[in-house]
A = this chain, B = another copy of it.
Amino acid sequence: MFENSRESRTSLSEYGEFGLIDHLTKNFLVTSEATIKGIGDDAAILDFKDNKAVVTTDMLLEGVHFDLSYMPLKHLGYKAVMANLSDVYAMNATPTQITVSFAVSNRFPVEALEELYAGIELAAKLYKVDVVGGDTCSSKTGLVISITALGAAREEDIVYRSGAQTNDLLVVTGDLGAAYMGLQVLEREKEVFKVNPRSQPDLDAYTYLIERQLKPEARKDIPPLFKALDVKPTSMIDISDGLSSETIHLCKNSKKGVYLYEEKIPLDPAVISVCEEFKLDSTTIALSGGEDYELLFTIAQADFEKIKANPNFTVIGHMAEEGEGMHLITRGDQKVPLIARGWNAMKEED
C-alpha cells in the first residue's frame, strides 16, 4: 500500500504512545511568538495579546475523506493542515498554531507515520504555524486524523459569513473544480491499475488537477492582499464543499439572496478539457466539486475598482434581497435555483 515507503518497517509497539509522539514531533520547534509552550505539558500555552483568537477543527477518516491507495501519506498530512488553515484565512485571520490528533492501526509502520508527519511539518513550516499538541491512539480499523487550528486577528479585521449586503459583489479567488477532477483522474487510474498493474499511466496532462487534489494550498496570500488593497470583505467563507453550497452559506448567514453567473465562474483550461473527456458538465463540477480551498467573499460595489485588475479575483455575481432568492444565471440567460449539491459527508454511505 505504501508504494514509496522505505524498506524498513518499524512496529508502532516499539515506541508506545509517549515515545511515538516524542519521536514524531522531535523536529517541531516553537517559532511563533504567540506560542509560549508547545508540546510537552498537559496543555499548550498561547499568547494572543491584543488579538482575538480564532479556532476551527476538522476530522478526516480513511475510506471516507481519503484513499491511501492514491493519496501518499505525506500529502495527506499536508492537505489535512491546509483544510484547517483555509478556515482561518476565511475569517481574514492569520493561523498561529495547530494541534494534531490521530488514531492508527498497527498495520501502519512507524515509517508511514513519519511520512504523515513530514507533510504536517512541511505545511507548518511553510505557513508559519506551530504544532503545539495532539493525541495519539490505536485504531482497530483505519486512519483517523483530527486537526484543530488556532489563529489571531485584530477584531476590526475579522470577516464573518454574515455581513453581506444587498448589491455587494460576490467574488472568488483562483479557479474552481480542479481538485474534484484531479480526484476523478486518480480514481480512474486506480481502476486501470487494478486491471493491469503494469500499466504506466501518462498523467502529464493532469498535473495541475492532481496537484490541486493531492497538494492543495490554503490562500494565505489573500488576507495580506486585502490589507494592501485596502479592501475589507463584507462576508467570507472558504470553498471546501463546492461553490454552490458555500454561496448558500453566505446568503443564509447574511439573510440575502444572490445572482451567480455561470459564465463568470473561473475554470482552468485543464478542468474544461478533462470535463469533456469524462463527459461531465464543468459548471456542475465547479458548483459542487469541493476541496478547492479558494476563498469566496463579498465586497461593496464601491470597492470594485480596488480589485478589478487583480488576477487573483473573479467577480461571479452579486447579492440581492433575501426575498429575491438564490439563483444561477446560465449561459443561456436562464434563471435556475441555486441548490447545494456539495459533498455531504453524512450521505456518503446511504
Chain A residues near B (Cβ < 8 Å): 12-13, 15-17, 20, 36-37, 40-48, 52-61, 63-65, 87-88, 90-91, 93, 97, 99, 101-103, 105-106, 132-142, 144, 146, 148-151, 153, 155, 158, 160-162, 236-238, 253, 344-350
Contacts and interface: CB of A to CB of B under 8 A. Distances in A.
A136 B57 CA distance: 10
A348 B16 CA distance: 10
A267 to B, nearest CB: 24
B16 A59 contact: no
A245 to B, nearest CB: 8
B140 A140 contact: no
30 contacts: A13-B347, A16-B347, A17-B346, A41-B161, A42-B56, A42-B161, A43-B87, A43-B90, A43-B93, A43-B151, A44-B56, A45-B52, A45-B54, A45-B91, A45-B153, A46-B53, A46-B55, A55-B99, A55-B133, A57-B135, A57-B148, A58-B135, A63-B140, A106-B350, A136-B346, A138-B345, A138-B346, A140-B141, A141-B142, A148-B148
A177 to B, nearest CB: 21
Nearest to A65: B137
A44 B52 CA distance: 10
A127 to B, nearest CB: 15
B40 A45 contact: no
A54 B344 CA distance: 33
A103 B59 contact: yes
Contact of A345 (B17, B36, B90): B17
B42 A90 contact: yes
B253 A61 contact: no
Nearest to A12: B346
A251 to B, nearest CB: 14
A46 B57 contact: no
A112 to B, nearest CB: 14
A146 B88 contact: no
B91 A57 contact: no
A58 B57 CA distance: 13
Given A52-B46, A91-B43, A350-B13, A57 B133 contact: yes
B59 A101 contact: yes
A44 B36 contact: no
B101 A146 contact: yes
Contacts of A58: 101, 135
B61 A146 contact: no
A44 to B, nearest CB: 5
A346 B144 contact: no
Contact of A97 (B44, B55, B88, B105): B55
Contacts of A63: 140
Contacts of A61: 103, 137-140, 144
Given A17-B344, A105-B349, A148-B148, A135 B46 contact: no
Contacts of A151: 43
A100 to B, nearest CB: 8
Choose among A37, A41, A44, A349 the residue with the greatest number of B CB atoms under 10 Å from its CB: A41
Contact of A42 (B16, B41, B87): B87
A139 B144 CA distance: 10
Nearest to A99: B57
